Amino acid sequence: MTSGIGSTVLGYPRIGPRRELKRAVESYWAGRTDRDALLATAARLRADTWRDLREAGLDSVPSNTFSFYDQVLDTAALVGAIPARYRQDHEVDTLFAAARGTGSLAPLELTKWFDTNYHYLVPEIDETTTFALTGDKPLAEHREARAQGVPTRPVVLGPVTFLLLAKGVDPLSRLDELVEVYADLLRGLADEGVEWVQLDEPAFAADRSERELVALERAYTRLAAQSARPQLLVTGYYGDLGRALGVLAGTAVDALAVDLVAGSEEGLAEVTALRGKILVAGLVDGRNVWRTDLRAALARAEALRPLAREVVVSTSSTLLHVPYDLDQEQGLGEEVRDRLAFARQKVHEVVLLGRALAEGPTEEWEAEADRPRPAPRHDGAVRSRLTGLQPDARTRAPYADRVAAQSDLGLPRLATTTIGSFPQTTEIRTARAALRSGELDLDGYAERMRTEIGRVIALQEDIGLDVLVHGEPERNDMVQYFAEHLDGVAGTELGWVQSYGSRCVRPPILHGDVTRPEPITVPWTTHARSLTTRQVKGMLTGPVTILAWSFVRDDQPLRATADQVALALRDEIADLEAAGTRVIQVDEPALRELLPLREADREDYLDWSVSAFRLATGGAAAGTQVHTHLCYSEFGEVIEAIDALDADVTTIEAARSKMEVLADLSAAGFARGVGPGVYDIHSPRVPGEEELVALIAEASRAVPGDRLWVNPDCGLKTRAYAEVEPALRALVAAAKRVRETTTN
Ligand SMILES: CN1c2c(nc(N)[nH]c2=O)NC[C@@H]1CNc1ccc(C(=O)N[C@@H](CCC(=O)N[C@@H](CCC(=O)N[C@@H](CCC(=O)O)C(=O)O)C(=O)O)C(=O)O)cc1
Ligand SMILES: N[C@@H](CCS)C(=O)O
Ligand SMILES: [Zn+2]
């Protein structure tokens, strides 16, 4: 009989309640502070987390949830899989070299983590990789916590998910070698007296092949057979484990965590092998910010009891994706605040539920369970608009008619444009900080933004771009900015969530019916248009991306919220048109990100997401050229949905994948305007004119010049003018050369 694990959370934020880690690493990178200062900040943040979790009353406190940059990279370092080219004298510098590159070396590839807005570094596994236990981070952090009087449960990314996330020739074929390294790790942890270890296998919340399930079984049969080892908790969050649950339950691991928010109880009763295990019931939503319905959660936990040897309460996933602490927020109205729980509050919910499950409801539990939950903001007008939509509200004029109606835009073949944002300079951010602190009033701020827009327009005219943009200087973030201008959406002051490395976002909270009190972008776009005779693209963030990068109410289907946001954008498009704007871009970089992990859920998602985009754009006149922009993903799986968006022009990330997307698009019969990105803006490298000519010429062989656009991969906000200006000059020169030498 094993000893219990008790109530717990599967992971915790690590950037610091006030982004202390971000500031510490960025200051270290800039050479303003030394390594000791960085290590000291990191140690303090870890200590604070363990103390807080312990004092909150969790039975089992996780450790190794801290990371200087990314937990996948840390795992690579632990098992000897950081490519030798990144090696530095100190381990933290090796991590940063792999994450950010060095003067001469490109970094590891960064890509999105499952269906979240977090991004991880992709391990490279090849014949030079020799797996060995080359790090001791889980052990060292356990010791550090124990010295503080907190026994912890180290959390490590599981070996099968690690290999499934890696790139190389069949990384999974290296499983047996890697599992031996994990066995070494378990032995070392057992020697140190560690009682429980958590191995995360989120890859199994997605559809997996027979071979991958066999790999899972093989790995955990081996690890569970390790003679000296801590007890093993295996998790598979972000959805249902599906068949993987039975596979894991069939091994001798001690506990299994199930995500009962993204997944459900369905099928648990059939896994009879669970009855010998501890079931860690993920009942408190780890990914969203709503308070848990404690009564319903307790009833669910109790109903699970016959299915397992013991049931304990946890979060559905790591809490990495939610902000630290609701109590630090000053600006939220009670009608929103009283519906919310951030990481700290979720820990409290887990503790209350755990005690109620073990000992029966306490007074404190009753008080929290009965604490009133305000109803979401209701707007009858937006609801009746949606129910009264005409059947053709999501359909524009046929493409051929639109092309004819847009012919007076006067655009050349292989027209050049950018994706919207220009560099967010220190002056822009300083002006915004001054506005927030009250040093600058709204008029003064608007004046600075108008000046910036003037600069950006003049620069684009000088460079010779065909369709200009205003540069988005007024936007702190492409989602947060729109959210701040909509009713039914709340912003936070300190609700930072790590997106990658030191970069964070503050996801807005879509808490009630969404409406647009007044035009959002029209004054900026109109000002930009007043400064030039060229076309200026209006610039909006689409409904799917607004949902993907926000916390969304869970009391109605996502499609209902998406349609409300879409109506607000539809009105914005109408106002832009009324002010004379002829080209309007609606960005949907997150269209692929929200794609459900399981095939069975995809059709419904693609239906509502495409419908919402079409509701936003469906009112645009035939003569308005609607662009969309997609990036941050490979789009092969959603090409048909991209076609169904029915945009006149689709600009899409392509430079790094060497234009492969063009083949996918033409195979799907895509026959509207397309702008495969030719300048990789994720790299500081300035592309040369010759390489751009080669890329554009290649694209022009696949797409006729009147439908082919020439543009960068994505917005320029994270780049510096020193890179952007020469790159755009080269892009325009290259487009001109290909235009002159081709006729199609
Ligand atoms: C395209 N990406 C985006 C994603 N999600 C979004 N919601 N938005 C995105 O753009 N997901 C996928 C990718 C992820 N990529 C990135 C890239 C860059 C960042 C980033 O740089 N984040 C910034 C924060 C940006 C921001 O909100 N800036 C505010 C200033 C906020 C601030 O730091 N204020 C200071 C005080 C003011 C000051 O001194 O500047 C403070 O509060 O202390 C603004 O411009 O007003 C980051 O700092 O990490 C994120 C995701
Ligand atoms: N219009 C946005 C899109 C980013 S995905 C930008 O240019 O930054
Ligand atoms: Zn983009």
Between the CA of 229 and the centroid of ligand 3 the distance, in Å, is: 46
C-alpha distances in Å from residue 304, one per residue of 24, 263, 486, 634: 44, 14, 41, 39
Residue pointed to by tokens 């994270």: 718
User: Over pLDDT 90: what percentage of the chain?
Assistant: 93
Mean pLDDT for 183-189 is: 98
DSSP annotation of 44: H
- Nearest-atom index, ligand 2, CA of 715: 7
Q: Give which of 87, 74, 199, 181 is closest to 131, Cα–Cα.
A: 181
693-721 tens-digit pLDDT? 999 999 999 999 999 999 999 999 999 99
**C-beta 664 within 6 A of ligand 2:** no
Whole-number Å distance between alpha carbons of 204 and 262: 13
Per-residue pLDDT at 665: 86
Instruction: Report which protein residue has its CA nearest ligand 1's atom 14.
Output: 499
Q: Give which of 231, 225, 232, 234 is closest to 256, Cα–Cα.
A: 234
Q: Best of 18, 477, 482 to mutate for ligand 1, by most ligand atoms within 8 A of CB?
A: 477
The band of 744, judged by pLDDT with boundaries at 50, 70 and 90, is confident
Q: Report the DSSP beta bridge partners of residue 555.
A: none
Q: Report the DSSP beta bridge partners of residue 421.
A: 471
443-482 tens-digit pLDDT? 999 999 999 999 999 999 999 999 999 999 999 999 999 9
Per-residue pLDDT at 3: 65
Residue pointed to by tokens 């951030």: 342
CB neighbours (10 Å) of residue 497? 23
User: In which element (H, E) is residue 234 found?
Assistant: strand 231-235
Least confident of 3-12, 235-244, 510-519, 631-640: 631-640
Between the CA of 660 and the centroid of ligand 3 the distance, in Å, is: 17
Q: What is the distance, to the nearest Å, from the Cα of residue 402 to the centroid of all Cα atoms in its chain?
A: 34
Between the CA of 627 and the centroid of ligand 2 the distance, in Å, is: 12
Annotated binding-site residues for Zn(2+) read 629, 631, 653, 714
Whole-number Å distance between alpha carbons of 221 and 251: 5
- Nearest-atom index, ligand 1, CA of 503: 49
- Nearest-atom index, ligand 2, CA of 419: 7
Q: What are phi and psi of 496, to 5 degrees?
A: -75, 140
- Nearest-atom index, ligand 1, CA of 714: 1
28-49 tens-digit pLDDT? 999 999 999 999 999 999 999 9
Contacts 24+ apart (CB under 8 A), 138-144: 138/63, 138/64, 138/78, 138/185, 138/189, 138/197, 139/188, 139/189, 139/192, 139/194, 141/46, 141/63, 141/64, 141/66, 142/63, 142/64, 142/189, 142/192, 142/194, 143/192, 144/43, 144/46, 144/47
Between the CA of 411 and the centroid of ligand 2 the distance, in Å, is: 22
CATH class, 403-741 region: alpha beta
* Domain residue spans of the chain: 20-370, 403-741
The band of 398, judged by pLDDT with boundaries at 50, 70 and 90, is very high
Whole-number Å distance between alpha carbons of 687 and 672: 27
Annotated binding-site residues for L-methionine read 419-421, 472, 587
**C-beta 589 within 6 A of ligand 2:** yes
Between the CA of 679 and the centroid of ligand 2 the distance, in Å, is: 14
Q: Best of 629, 652, 681, 716 to mutate for ligand 2, by most ligand atoms within 8 A of CB?
A: 629
Residue pointed to by tokens 């469906």: 618
Per-residue pLDDT at 646: 97
Between the CA of 497 and the centroid of ligand 1 the distance, in Å, is: 10
Whole-number Å distance between alpha carbons of 31 and 29: 5
253-264 tens-digit pLDDT? 999 999 999 999
Q: Best of 521, 539, 587, 627 to mutate for ligand 2, by most ligand atoms within 8 A of CB?
A: 587
Q: Give which of 524, 645, 538 is closest to 585, Cα–Cα.
A: 538
pTM > 0.80: yes or no: yes
∠ CA(99), CA(212), CA(67), 5° rounding?
25
Q: Report the DSSP beta bridge partners of residue 455.
A: none
Per-residue pLDDT at 660: 81
pLDDT at 521 > cutoff 60? yes
**Residue 470 annotated to the active site:** no
* Tokens, residue 694: 């080669």
- Cβ distance 289 to 269 under 8 Å? no
pLDDT at 175 > cutoff 90? yes
The band of 332, judged by pLDDT with boundaries at 50, 70 and 90, is very high
Q: Identify the residues whose C-beta falls under 6 Å from ligand 1.
A: 117, 429, 432-433, 476-479, 499, 503-505, 549, 632, 718
C-alpha distances in Å from residue 449, one per residue of 418, 431, 707: 19, 9, 33
430 three-state secondary structure = helix
Contacts 24+ apart (CB under 8 A), 519-524: 519/572, 519/575, 520/482, 520/485, 520/572, 521/572, 521/576, 522/572, 522/575, 522/576, 522/579, 524/449, 524/453, 524/470, 524/474
Between the CA of 466 and the centroid of ligand 3 the distance, in Å, is: 19
The band of 2, judged by pLDDT with boundaries at 50, 70 and 90, is very low
298-327 tens-digit pLDDT? 999 999 999 999 999 999 999 999 999 999
Instruction: Spell out where 16-60 has E strands.
Output: none
Mean pLDDT for 654-671 is: 83
pLDDT at 658 > cutoff 90? no
Instruction: Report which protein residue has its CA nearest ligand 1's atom 18.
Output: 503
Same fold, 20-370 and 403-741: yes
Between the CA of 284 and the centroid of ligand 1 the distance, in Å, is: 28
pLDDT at 81 > cutoff 60? yes
**How big, in percent rounded to 5, are the helix, strand and coil portions of the chain?**
45, 15, 40
Annotated binding-site residues read 19-22, 112, 117, 419-421, 472, 503-504, 549, 587, 593, 629, 631, 653, 714
CATH class, 20-370 region: alpha beta
Q: Is the ipTM here above 0.90?
A: yes
- Nearest-atom index, ligand 1, CA of 493: 42
Q: What are phi and psi of 488, to 5 degrees?
A: 90, 5
Q: Best of 428, 503, 588 to mutate for ligand 1, by most ligand atoms within 8 A of CB?
A: 503
Instruction: Report which protein residue has its CA nearest ligand 1's atom 19.
Output: 503
| Residue 97 Rama label (left phi>0; alpha psi -120 to 50; beta) | alpha
Q: Report the DSSP beta bridge partners of residue 189.
A: none
Mean pLDDT for 69-83 is: 98
DSSP annotation of 598: S
- Nearest-atom index, ligand 1, CA of 549: 7
DSSP annotation of 607: H
Kindly give the interhelix angle for 71-78 and 91-100, rounded to the nearest 10 degrees.
Answer: 130
pLDDT at 1 > cutoff 60? no
- pLDDT mean across residues, the chain: 96
CB neighbours (10 Å) of residue 37? 13
User: Burial of 273 by CB count in 10 Å (0-12 exposed, 13-18 middle, 19+ buried)?
Assistant: middle
Annotated binding-site residues for L-homocysteine read 419-421, 472, 587
Q: Exactly one of 142, 348, 511, 682 is catalytic; which is it? A: 682
Mean pLDDT for 406-417 is: 97
**C-beta 213 within 6 A of ligand 2:** no
**C-beta 478 within 6 A of ligand 2:** yes
Q: What are phi and psi of 407, to 5 degrees?
A: -65, -25
